[in-house]
Structure 1
Amino acid sequence: MTSEPGFISRFVSARDGLKLHLRDYGPLEAPALPIICLPGFARTAADFHELALAFAQDDAKPRRVLALDYRGRGLSDYDRDWKNYDIRIELDDLMQVLVAMGVEQAVFVGTSRGGLLTMALAAARPAVIRGAVLNDVGPVIDARGLLRIRGYVGKLPMPRSFSEGAEILKRLSDQHFPVLSEAEWEVMARRTWTDRDGALRPDYDPQLMKVLEELDLETPLPVLWTYFDGLKAVPLLAIRGANSDLLAEKTLQDMAERHSDCEIYTAPGQGHAPLLGSNEMIRRIGKLIARAERRAA
């Protein structure tokens, strides 16, 4: 366990002994409903820093926020077998973390793969979910987005500085995120690469690319409405980036029609996946949490 500004780094053993890292924000014994943050495929807990601080340090109602690094990402151990970067194993990892951290119920905020994990958790342990945010992911996934992600995971250039990294990301994704400032691109760079032995390296195991390379994007991807239906008992916020190539507008509308307590929001000027640290995103997620707490009251 180590402490950094705003959070404590904790480590939990997975079932196979691999060490999983998570950021623990806010009061340990806060009575308010905790939040569990689950990042995208090649992303880390750092993506939720602003969101986590906002809720953990709220003057009126501080709450505990846990943000997870999946195996092979961030400060979690890398797996010697890349085939273990599998959503079924990551689901078991998540359940081990929940038990170790004493979390019985929470609101889950899942970006991309994190949203898929949230839907999978609803099938495996529905009682633990009191509310959910699905950030740019749904039961139907657009293969175009996966094709684009496959084009850069494990293949990014090695920048000499974070400012150079920001330029790389901007060239790669500016058409999807035209509203980001130079400062925001640099924050993204600092959350994409990490300093290892004096050189910047991606903050994930490069072997992750093999998981994507195995996908057959010429055949239709599985449709996950059955898993989505597992969230029907809890309030839901579904977010889509206006420029997303992974979650179609029609799928977002279908989610709202299928779920009686699903609010939808399209983030202007953002692609896959929208950043969650803005005041507007924090406000909307706060409303979702309030709905979850009222429903249980």
Structure 2
Amino acid sequence: MSSTEGFSDFFYAAPDGLRLHARVYGGANSGHWPVVCLPGLTRNARDFHELALNLSARSRVARKVVAFDYRGRGQSAYDLDVSHYNVGVEAGDVLAGLTALDIEEAAFIGTSRGGLIIHVLGALQPAVLKAIVLNDIGPLIETAGLAHIQSYLERAPKPKTFAEAMDAQRSVHGKDFRALTDADWTRMVGALYRETDQGLMPDFDPKLVDTVANLDLSQPLPALWPQFEALAAIPLLTIRGANSRLLSAEALQQMRQRHPMMETITVEGQGHAPFLETGSLPGSIGAFLDRAEQQSCSE
């Protein structure tokens, strides 16, 4: 485990032996819930860097934070079997990582696919979930939003420089993310791409694109209401981008009806998925986790 920039790199073996990676922020558990961060489909642990620094070192309550790279992303090994790139396998990988880190329970933050993995964890090992933050994801996914992701991945630009990458990301996502600053776009591009001998490359296995391209979006997507309702006793904060194409305002309302204690935040000027380190979100997330833990301790 090597330390750099406020975190340590942690490598462990998946249940099938694949070498996987996570970032660990903060020291040993200090009596407060650790936080587990789960990124989106093609994203990686770097997306949570600023938020993790905030929760582990800058908040009133300092927490250990673990941000995972799924198989085929970031510093985790690529899988030769593309069928293993699914939320069930990835949920098992997360549980293996928590076991390796000796974490029995935690608060979870899931962006997009990460939120779907949290739904699976609720079925596989509900006791591990102490509090949940869903970032622009829920049990009902809009087909139009997935179609947008599918189209983007199939026609993803191939920039040669970081400047070109920033221009490309602004061109595709700028209308949905008018609230972002130049610094926000810079962090986003720095997390998405990596330098290689072949030049600038997205930091994920290209075969991931196939898993999305093969989705039949002419049929309604299965809803995860039973899995969501199983989380009803767990403190929940759902964050939605006001311009989101994946999580609709109507779906958010249905979620609130089925989980009456759910807290919500709508982020103006952002789409799918909001940058959790921007604006007041770090403070709001930290305060939610503090309230959830205090309530748990008083019960």
Contact 1:192 1:202 in 2 (8 A): yes
Residue 217 (structure 1) shift? 0.3
Distance 1:230 1:17 in 2: 31
Superposition TM-score, scaled by structure 2 size = 0.96
Residue 119 (structure 1) shift? 1.0
C-alpha spacing 1:105/1:92, structure 2 compared with 1 (3 Å): same
Structure 2 equivalent of residue 109 of structure 1: 109
Contact 2:59 2:286 in 1 (8 A): no
**Larger deviation, residues 266-275 vs 197-206:** 197-206
Q: Secondary structure at the match of 2:293?
A: helix
Corresponding letter in the other structure for 2:102 = G
Contact 1:12 1:19 in 2 (8 A): yes
Structure 1 equivalent of residue 173 of structure 2: 173
Distance 1:52 1:59 in 2: 10
Trace 1:81-120 onto structure 2 (pairs within 5 A): 81-120=81-120
Distance 1:216 1:59 in 2: 43
Corresponding letter in the other structure for 1:201 = M
Trace 1:169-208 onto structure 2 (pairs within 5 A): 169-197=169-197, 199-208=199-208
Residue 16 (structure 1) shift? 1.0
Distance 1:194 1:40 in 2: 17
Same amino acid, percent of matched pairs = 43
Structure 2 equivalent of residue 16 of structure 1: 16
Distance 2:112 2:65 in 1: 19
Contact 1:153 1:206 in 2 (8 A): no
Structure 2 equivalent of residue 217 of structure 1: 217
Trace 1:135-146 onto structure 2 (pairs within 5 A): 135-146=135-146
**Larger deviation, residues 147-156 vs 281-290:** 147-156
Structure 2 equivalent of residue 266 of structure 1: 266
Superposition TM-score, scaled by structure 1 size = 0.97
Residue 260 (structure 1) shift? 2.4
Residue 157 (structure 1) shift? 2.4
**Larger deviation, residues 147-156 vs 6-15:** 147-156
Distance 1:41 1:60 in 2: 31
Corresponding letter in the other structure for 2:31 = P
**Larger deviation, residues 65-74 vs 192-201:** 192-201
Trace 1:270-289 onto structure 2 (pairs within 5 A): 270-289=270-289
Distance 1:141 1:257 in 2: 17
Unmatched tracts of structure 1, length 5 or more: none
Residue 198 (structure 1) shift? 5.8
Structure 2 equivalent of residue 39 of structure 1: 39
Distance 1:14 1:175 in 2: 39
C-alpha spacing 1:91/1:134, structure 2 compared with 1 (3 Å): same
Find out whether 1:245 has 2:242 as its counterpart.
no
Distance 2:168 2:289 in 1: 36
Contact 1:27 1:62 in 2 (8 A): no
Contact 2:154 2:213 in 1 (8 A): no
Distance 1:187 1:295 in 2: 35
* RMSD of aligned Cα (Å): 1.2
Contact 1:36 1:66 in 2 (8 A): yes
Q: Secondary structure at the match of 1:57?
A: helix
Q: Secondary structure at the match of 1:234?
A: coil
Corresponding letter in the other structure for 2:167 = E
Can you list the C-alpha shifts for 1:204-231, whole angstroms capped at 9, x where unaligned? 0010011011211000100111011121
Q: Secondary structure at the match of 1:36?
A: strand
Distance 2:229 2:99 in 1: 24
Distance 2:196 2:155 in 1: 17
Structure 2 equivalent of residue 69 of structure 1: 69
Distance 2:292 2:154 in 1: 38
Corresponding letter in the other structure for 1:255 = M
Distance 1:59 1:92 in 2: 30
Give the count of matched residue pairs. Answer: 297
Q: Secondary structure at the match of 1:218?
A: coil
Distance 1:213 1:199 in 2: 25
Corresponding letter in the other structure for 1:235 = P
Contact 1:163 1:189 in 2 (8 A): no
Distance 2:47 2:90 in 1: 18
Residue 155 (structure 1) shift? 4.2
Can you list the C-alpha shifts for 1:88-119, whole angstroms capped at 9, x where unaligned? 11111011011111111110000000000111
Contact 2:61 2:290 in 1 (8 A): no
Distance 1:59 1:278 in 2: 15
C-alpha spacing 1:181/1:279, structure 2 compared with 1 (3 Å): closer
Find out whether 1:236 has 2:236 as its counterpart.
yes
